[in-house]
Structure 1
Amino acid sequence: MGDGTVVGRRERKKAATRAAILDAAMPLFLERGFDEVTVREIADEADVSPKTVFTHFPQKEALVFSDEDERHERLAAAVSDRASGTTISAALKAHYLAEIAAMRSGPQRQILTLMEATPSLVDYAEKMWFRHEDALVVAITKDLELPEPNDEIRFYVRFALHIQLGATHEADPESAIDAGFRLLDEGWTTYHKRLSTLGIGLARGSPRLPQPE
């Protein structure tokens, strides 16, 4: 039996165990509330040990946000895969609105309700969101064809991430997102003009950085 077969089987087993833990945890959380469910109960329901639960999920809150890696990838792709002629801010605004709409409908709505009722989940979600900072910085730096990130890009990303976080809790997220990027883009446009004088950031034949609306 080749090493590849062994590794493949091991990965499938890990994925199955992870899925079983999630299948056990989420119904318990939704039925009784996050704080009322123990890791021991989840482990028993999934027929694994508490240690195994923590092997797959470093802390209890991570069970509610098992799609963190996918969210990470979608955020970076919103910049790197955007259509030609679409600014970074416009791409992020569209991405934010799509993510918020998904959270407010279907199965995700239950998770949002659970999160809003649990302070520790709100805190975890905010920290998780800002862990995406480096990936977005890299995506924008690569998009601008710069050798390395700079302060302007890092501050743009930090403020842009804050815009989504605040808009999630607004009754009219689109208005909040538009207002946030309108303010952010005023400073970002100055940076864009400075890059443009150096011939940077225009490889697609259209502005790569946000323009005032």
Structure 2
Amino acid sequence: MPWGERAATVSDVDEAKLGLRERKKQRTRAAISDAAIGLFLEHGFSQVSVAQVAEAAEVSKRTLFAYFPSKEDLVVHRLADHETELARVVRARGNDASPLAAVRAHFLAGLSERDPITGLNDHPQVLRLTRMILDAPSLVARMEGFKSGAERALAAALHETADLPELTARLGAVQIVAVQWALSQDNAHRMAAGETADGRYPGAVADAQHGFALLAHGLGE
């Protein structure tokens, strides 16, 4: 067998092993997270220990911490992808769309689709998770960390794609993230208080239109 073919075969085997190993890690991570969320929703975030989560997931505490460095990570990792969401929206916008217009359209689409990140979702499981986060100060604090990360990512996207000075990009990002965060939080609190997503939708859209109009006036597009 020629060397080239032999090398390719070994590489394929290694890649297959790596794929299996990665899939196993993903299954373990998902099992730990599912066990944690189930316990937290049933008993409350503060009432469940990491040891109890590890036992329910049938892993050691050491293994648990290898996947999730803190107890809060067991919850907020599910939202981690949203930290850079606005930055991705700005980078992916068309040439004829301003950054603010792209973010506005994205948020309004999220409201229409009842995207949980907009706060406008009354699915029982989502509501339980929302109430749990709002009732746990350490989780609320971690969510604030995501907010700061979103500001940094969006500032970089504005600076790089809209040719804005760094300070302008940073100030603009802070304002955009703050408005969207406030809108989402208001919707989430209303859902947690018992309003329905369909009943709240017109008001959520009106509030979003108002918020983004204020941003447009302040930033001057």
TM-score range for the pair, normalised by the shorter chain length? 0.7 to 0.9
For 2:88, the equivalent position in structure 1 comes to 77
RMSD between superposed Cα atoms in Å = 2.4
Instruction: Show CA shifts across 1:33-66 (max 9, x none).
Output: 1111111000001111112212111211111122
Q: Which amino acid aligns with 2:219?
A: W
- In the alignment, which residue of structure 1 is the partner of 2:48? 37
Contact kept? 1:138, 1:149, Cα under 8 Å: no
Describe the superposition over 1:159-200 as per-residue Cα deviations: whole angstroms up to 9, x where unpaired: 1111122222325544444444333333422xxxxxxxxxxx
* Aligned counterpart for 1:162 among listed residues 178, 181, 197: 178
Letter in 2 for 1:162: A
Q: Does 1:136 align with 2:147?
A: no
Query: Greater CA deviation, 130-139 or 20-29?
Result: 130-139
Question: Paired residue for 2:99?
Answer: 88
Where do residues 4-153 of structure 1 align in structure 2 (5 Å cutoff)?
A: 4-99=15-110, 101-103=114-116, 104-106=121-123, 107-144=125-162, 146=163, 150-153=166-169
Structure 1: distance between partners of 2:109 and 2:130: 15
CA contact (8 A) 1:167 1:174 kept: no
C-alpha distance in 2 between matches for 1:9 and 1:130: 35
Q: Which is richer in helix?
A: 2
Task: Decide whether the 8 Å contact of 1:97 with 1:174 is kept in 2.
Answer: yes
Q: Distance in 2 between matches of 1:79 and 1:54?
A: 34
Say how many residue pairs are matched: 188
Moved more, 178-187 or 158-167: 178-187
d(CA) in 1 for partners of 2:185 and 2:44? 20
For residues 99 and 116 of structure 1, do their structure 2 counterparts lie closer, same or farther at Cα, with a shift above 3 Å needed? farther
- Structure 2: which 5+ residue stretches go unaligned? 1-9, 191-202
In 2: Cα distance, 1:54 partner to 1:98 partner: 37
- Tell me, in whole angstroms, the C-alpha distance in 2 between the residues paired with 1:131 and 1:29: 25
Task: Out of 90-99 and 62-71, give the one that drifted further.
Answer: 90-99
Residue segments in structure 1 that go unaligned for 5+ positions in a row? 190-209
- Show the counterpart of 1:202: none
How far is the alpha carbon of 1:83 from its aligned partner?
4.4
Identify which range, 34-43 or 89-98, moves more after superposition: 89-98
Shift in alpha-carbon separation, 1:121–1:78, aligned structure 2, 3 A: same
Q: Does 1:185 align with 2:196?
A: no
Deviations 1:105-159 (A, max 9, x none): 3233321121122222111111122212232122222322x3x851000110011
Question: With structure 2 as the length reference, what TM-score do the two structures score?
Answer: 0.74
Runs ≥4 in structure 1, deviation > 4 angstroms? Answer: 97-100
In 2, Cα distance between equivalents of 1:11 and 1:133: 31
CA offset at residue 84 of structure 1?
4.9
Deviates more, 1:165-174 or 1:122-131: 165-174
- How many Å separate the matches in 2 of 1:53 and 1:149? 43
Q: Distance in 2 between matches of 1:117 and 1:82?
A: 36
